[in-house]
Structures are given as structure tokens and as C-alpha cells.
Amino acid sequence: MSQEQLFSFGLDFNETAKNQKMLNAEKLYKKAISAIETYNFTIAKTYVTAGLLEYSNLFVLRDLNTRLNFVLAFKASDAIKDDNGRRLLRDSFQDFLLQKWDDSLDTTEYLVSKYDGKDLNNYQMMIESLSKKASKFKGKDIVKTYIEEAMGGLMVDDLKTSTIKLEQILYFEPENMLVLKRLGSNYYVLGNKDKALEIWRRVLAIDPNDKEVAQFVKNMGVAK
């Protein structure tokens, strides 16, 4: 084999090895995404680190690594102590890592409005900077906005729209009694009595002494 052929062979070999490393890194990136989808952020970081060792120039891995580092270093124990707030923060992190910017921004806007904390504000600014967007609820009370839209639907007999808005509130505040009671009534009027009963039972689980809802359930001929 000539020197020129040896040189060419060496180039081909290096290129093949490089492509294989890139493929390995891409597979590890996909595994990281799958881990994030099941809220396993620490496991995702393990895959990302391994992927960068394989091929450090894969942009999506480097980009995800930056976001993961922020999430894993985030401290919210001083600002968010309740389970619902932590659930929402976890969801926001997942959306942030998956670059679902709108959902992450909306959830973070709710958290910032409800809880104090420098870390939360820094997190919100980071999402806005990376996405070059802001929540459509920026500076607004999300729950109040949805309630107004739900009541607006009722005013024009648009129960379906009203119900959708009420359900959206429950994502943020699953134990909002006003919303639960109104939502149960909406489902009842829409003819979905099973769903109405499910909602009213949620009300009674929170407040067993709610006589109005207890009567609704009784009228349906179903035990609590």
C-alpha cells in the first residue's frame, strides 16, 4: 500500500470513528430525553455526561447539559414548601428541559406570583432569555383570568368553554373549592353525571361538611 493510500485510509478510519461517536452521543441524548419525560432528571444528567464524553461537540447535548445543571442545582426549599407548589415546579422543569417554553413560562409565572424567592425569579428570567418569550399571563393573576373567562362562557351559555377554563385552573389549584363546585355543576348540566359525581366527591374529600355538595350527591342517589 502506498503512503498516499495509507493516509487516505487513516482519514477514512478517523471519520468512521468520529461518526460512530456522534451516533453513540445521539442515542444517549434520546435516552436523556426519555428520562426527563418520566421526571428522572438525575438519570438524564448521567446520560448527558456520557454522551458528552463520546462526542462533546453535539450541540443538543451541550444545550441540554446547561439546562440540566441549572435544574439540578436549583434550591426552592425556602420558597416552596407545599406539595402542590413542588409538583408545579417539577412540571415546569420538565417543560423547560424539553423546551416546551409556553407551558414552562405559564407555570413559572404562577409560581412567581404565589411564592417569594430570588431563585424563582432568576429561573423565570432564564426561561425568558432562552426562549425569547414571556408568559401570556405576565403580570396577571392566572387563576383570576381563567375564572373570568369561565364565567364569561357561562354568561353566553357556552358551558364547554367554561368547563375547559375551570379544568385549567385545577391544574394550578387542584383543591380550589369554588372551581370544583362550579365544575361539578357544569358537568351535571352537560349530562356527564359520572364526571359531576367524581368532582363533587373530590369536594367532599376536602370538606366533608359541605352540605350543599352532600345534598347534590344524595339527590343523585349515590352514597358518598
Claim to verify: residue 151 and residue 215 sit in the same structural domain: yes
Residue 176 or residue 13, greater confidence: 176
Together in a domain, 82 and 68: no
| In a domain? residue 224 | no
Residue 9 domain-assigned?
A: yes
Residues 157 and 202 in one domain: yes
- How many distinct structural domains can be found in the chain? 3
Q: What's the pLDDT score for residue 9?
A: 44
- The reply to whether 81 and 68 lie within a common domain is no
Looking at the fold, whether 62 and 82 belong to one and the same domain comes out as: no
Mean pLDDT over each residue of the chain, to the nearest integer: 89
Do residues 21 and 66 share a domain?
Answer: yes
CATH code of the domain covering residue 177: 1.25.40.10
Q: How far is the C-alpha of 190 from the C-alpha of 200, rounded, in Å?
A: 15
Q: Please give the radius of gyration of the chain, using alpha carbons only, rounded to the nearest integer.
A: 25
- For residues 147 and 178, state if they share a domain: yes
Tens-digit pLDDT profile for residues 70-79: 999 987 656 7
Judgement on whether residues 174 and 121 belong to the same structural domain of the protein: no
pLDDT over threshold 50, residue 11: no
Q: Given its phi and psi angles, is residue 221 left (phi above 0), alpha (psi -120 to 50 degrees) or beta?
A: left
What range defines the domain where residue 60 resides? Answer: 3-72
Contact indicator for 93, 40 with CB cutoff of 8 Å: no
Question: Are 153 and 192 in the same domain?
Answer: yes
* 10 in the same domain as 35: yes
pLDDT digits (tens, 9 = 90+) for 117-161: 788 999 999 999 999 999 999 999 999 999 999 999 888 889 999
Confidence of residue 162 (pLDDT cuts 50, 70, 90): very high
* Residue closest to 49 by CA, chosen among 73, 34, 69: 69
Mean pLDDT (whole number) for 88-104 = 97
Judge if 119 and 148 occupy the same domain: no
Q: Rounded to an integer, what distance in angstroms lies between the CA atom of residue 172 and that of residue 146?
A: 11
Q: Hey, what's the cell of 122?
A: 432568576
* Per-residue pLDDT reduced to its tens digit, 26-68: 999 999 999 999 999 999 999 999 999 999 999 999 999 999 9
Domain-located, residue 136:
no
